[in-house]
Structures are given as C-alpha cells and as structure tokens.
Amino acid sequence: MLHDFWERRLASLERVRFLVVDDNAHMINIVKTLLRGFGVAHIFEARDATEAFHRLKHDAIDICISDYQMEVLDGVEFVKLVRNSSDSPNRYIPIIMLTAHSERSKVIAARDAGANEFCCKPVTATELHRKVVAIVDYPRPYIKTGNYFGPDRRRKQDPKYHGDERREGWSEDHRPPTNGGRKRSASAGNSAYDQDEAS
C-alpha cells in the first residue's frame, strides 16, 4: 500500500514544471538531482533573478525554487518583483526560498516578500519534498492588502476570530486565476494554481 502511494506521488509530480534559481551551479545540480528523485521531468534553471524573470515570461513554470542570497537582486527582491511588478508574467507562481541562513529575520523577510515556503540548506530530500507537497496539495489563498500581495501568511485560520482585521475574502478586483488565467503548456501538470479558486 505504501509503495503504491509513493508511485502515485511520483507520477503526480512528473508533469510539474520547476524553475531553479541560484548563482551557484553546484547548488542547482543538487536541487535538480533531488527533484528528479521525486519524479520531476521538467526542470529549468536560471543563474540570477533577471534570467529567472525572463524564464517566467517565456516558459510555462509551475513552481519556482530560488536561492535567498544572490548577486544584484537577492531572493527576497526577486520574489517582490514576481509578486508586484506590473509586467510580472505570473504573480501567483509558488516560490520556495532556499537559504543557508535560518535566522528568524530571514524567514520573516521571505514570508513578507511573498514566498510560499522556506527551506534551509543543506537541503534534504525529505524537507524539500515536504515543501513541494505543501504547495501542490495544500495551497494557501492569496491575499492582497495595501502593502502585501502573496500567499496568506497565516498558516492557521481561527473561525472564532471576529476582529476588525478579519478578512472577508477575495476583493472584486482581485481573484486567483482560473485554468485559462495563466500561460500553460500541454505537458504542465496540476499545480497549486490549476485550482479554480483557492480554498
């Protein structure tokens, strides 16, 4: 039974298209090896944020994995660019941030920029797979406020909370894309953003 479960899990990731962004070629190869171990067949790479943004514009990417510390634009600035730029090709793309620095300030900076998940180096297969599964199987709704756009930063919803800052839901001018709302290829699989509406 467990073997069948993992076969189905690997098959489900086979069509998901990943972009790995890192200025370290060795780290890119490590992440690509881990992803292939999960059954991923479509992996793109970029050596900096500019190249990654170009990739997002011209390739149908489902999930992006970005290093935190890069030259020119770092990972946090890259996430902000993807989430907030007027010419961003996909503001909703899930982004996993990789970093060798696990201090709380780094985690908060990545979260507040709009990263979906945060993964510390040295990255392990178990931890990276857990982050990918969280994105694919348990997508969080996207939130638009005056100074933030990205996945809901609250991991848990409290139905008993009725304070002034309780969210009412999606605004009229801002809803997640439907299946036709983003560039896709015929080989792209069911990613977190193939849902008609985030729950």
Asked whether residue 197 carries a pLDDT value surpassing 60, the answer given is no
CATH code at 152? 3.40.50.2300
Total number of domains constituting the chain: 1
Asked whether residue 94 carries a pLDDT value surpassing 60, the answer given is yes
Asked whether residue 20 carries a pLDDT value surpassing 90, the answer given is yes
Asked whether residue 154 carries a pLDDT value surpassing 70, the answer given is yes
pLDDT band with cut points at 50, 70 and 90 for residue 102: confident
pLDDT band with cut points at 50, 70 and 90 for residue 6: very low
- Position 179 in a domain: yes
* Burial (CB count within 10 angstroms: exposed 0-12, middle 13-18, buried 19+), residue 73: middle
Question: Tens digit of pLDDT for each residue in 139-148?
Answer: 999 999 989 9
110-119 burial, b at 16+ Cβ within 10 Å, e below that, comes to bbebbbbbbb
Question: What is the residue range of 58's domain?
Answer: 14-156+170-194
- Position 3 in a domain: no
Most confident of 3-7, 9-13, 43-47, 136-140: 43-47
- Position 89 in a domain: yes
